[in-house]
Amino acid sequence: MAAKLADAGVRVVLEEYEAMPHCFALVFRRLTASERCFDAWARFIKEAVETKGSGPGRLSSFTTIQARTLKEVPLALQRLRPCSEEDMREQLWRRYTHLMTGGGADVASAATAAAPVEIAAKL
């Protein structure tokens, strides 16, 4: 999604925390990485509010934060595109078909969800 937005000209700030789930800062609040994450969120919000309408603001950035050292490593935008959108849609369709034909543990909830292809078409 970040790559698609950047391709469309949207300014994107992406920080990927190595070896961490997406909500780690909310769960492990005392980690140094969590403090760093909250500081980055606050900085982003402050910049967004203070620069509203007064110029371009921050440029897009894509960064990996290493787990042990918290070193910031630039992330290549190409790494965010491991496959084409068409390949992604095909993978979603195969997974949906697999679930709907009894290949998944939770077929009932998959049956009530919109088909992944319909969801992907909105992306």
Same domain, 22 and 55: yes
Q: How many domains does the chain have?
A: 2
Q: How far apart are CA 15 and CA 64, in angstroms?
A: 6
Higher pLDDT pick, 57 / 46: 46
Same domain, 34 and 57: yes
Same domain, 96 and 69: no
Higher pLDDT pick, 71 / 122: 71
Mean pLDDT confidence for 14-25: 93
CB 13, CB 61: distance < 8 Å: yes
Mean pLDDT confidence for 13-42: 94
CA angle 84, 104, 94 (to 5 degrees): 25
110 pLDDT tier (thresholds 50, 70, 90): very low
DSSP letters for 43-98? HHHHHHHHTTTSS--SPPEEEEE-TTT--EEE--GGGG-SS-HHHHHHHHHHHHHH
- What pTM did the predictor assign? 0.63
Q: Which two tokens stand for residue 23?
A: 């909500």
Q: Residue 46 is part of which domain span? A: 2-80
- What pLDDT sits at residue 78? 73
